Amino acid sequence: MSILVDQNTKLVVQGISGREGEFHTRQMIEYGTKVVAGTRPGMGGEKVLDVPVFDTVAQAVEATGANASVIYVPGRVAADAILEAADAGVELVVCISENIPVLDMIRVVRKLGEGKTKLIGPNCPGLISPGKSKVGIIPGNICKPGPIGIISRSGTLTYEVVYALTEQGIGQSSCIGIGGDPVHGLGFIECLELFERDAETRAVVLIGEIGGTDEEKAAEFIRTQMTKPVVAFVAGQTAPPGKRMGHAGAIIEGGAGTAAEKIAAFQRAGVQVARYPGEAAGLVEQALKTRKK
């Protein structure tokens, strides 16, 4: 099983003709993702990598039945691209674009709350269900089908943990990079809910970082709602207060959002916390063995 994307996902690539859009479209097609359409205003009727291009997402959905979108457009127009996909009835939108103004994302999240479209991102690596479909930029060659779900605020740390799991012979059901911006789509709790309901996901790895309170809220959800074991890693344990580290949401202000607070919250919830990303694989293996007993 998997969550959000699988072999039935039909993908439209917004910004397919740009350098990043075309490069990653090729990677997704080679992985086996069903890329059924692309969009670029003014290019309707043309093809990129043998994928038909449309002027609008609505035209692409009508012609191909696309039910998911991935966005590779500049940050200044990405918010409008998200809303265009939602207005066309796309069920899942994955926004890779970064540098989207916070006020734009507030407008987007408020609008999406009125409908059924789910958003992953922005400023994220996307997601992959190994062996079925990948939407975004996660390298498919390090992934392996299996029972572990992964949710992460960091793209590169996602890759590191996935690689460690695969090297240890532990596969993944779905890997989701939710992004590190302060205003975003699906978060830890929504993804945890999906993994909890997924019959073949047996454990979850949650990769957090400093800034905000998302990890603390996730820890409380795990304590009260999750029946499956969860392993965590929190990045930024040596970050100085008041200095942004990497993502726009990764900043400690007034003593709130520290790695120590997040680790303590997870530990109170019975979540094992890895000291470094690679250690998460060993903790997952222990959790799986314990659950069998």
Per-residue pLDDT band at 247 (split at 50, 70, 90): low
| pLDDT at residue 205 tops 90 | yes
Are residues 170 and 81 part of one domain? Answer: no
Mean pLDDT confidence for 131-153:
97
Do 67 and 208 sit in the same domain of this protein? no
Indicate whether 2 belongs to any domain: no
CA distance 249 to 195: 24
Q: Is the pLDDT of residue 260 over 80?
A: yes
Q: Is the peptide bond before 122 cis (omega within 30 degrees of 0)?
A: yes
Distance CA 282, CA 173 (A): 17
Q: Which helix (H) or strand (E) holds 151?
A: strand 145-152
- Other C-beta atoms closer than 10 Å to the C-beta of 189 total 16
247 an active-site residue? yes
Give me the domain span that covers residue 114.
10-120
On whether residue 261 sits in a domain, the answer given is yes
Same domain, 105 and 231: no
**Same domain, residue pair 63 and 18:** yes
Q: How many angstroms separate the CA atoms of 242 and 255, rounded? A: 9
Report how many domains make up the chain.
2
3-state secondary structure of 125: coil
CATH number at residue 246: 3.40.50.261
The CATH code of the domain that includes 53 is 3.40.50.720
Cross-strand partners of 145? 172
Q: Are residues 165 and 288 in the same domain?
A: yes
Q: What is the pLDDT of residues 78-105, one digit of tens each?
A: 999 999 999 999 999 999 999 999 999 9
Confidence at 246, pLDDT banded by 50, 70, 90: low
Q: Does residue 156 sit in the same domain as residue 288?
A: yes
pLDDT at position 63: 98
Please write the tens of the pLDDT for every residue from 55-73. Answer: 999 999 999 999 999 999 9
Are residues 98 and 161 both part of a single domain? no
Residue 204 has pLDDT above 60, yes or no: yes
- Determine the average pLDDT of the residues in 192-209: 96
Which of the residues 174, 247, 252, 266 is marked catalytic? 247
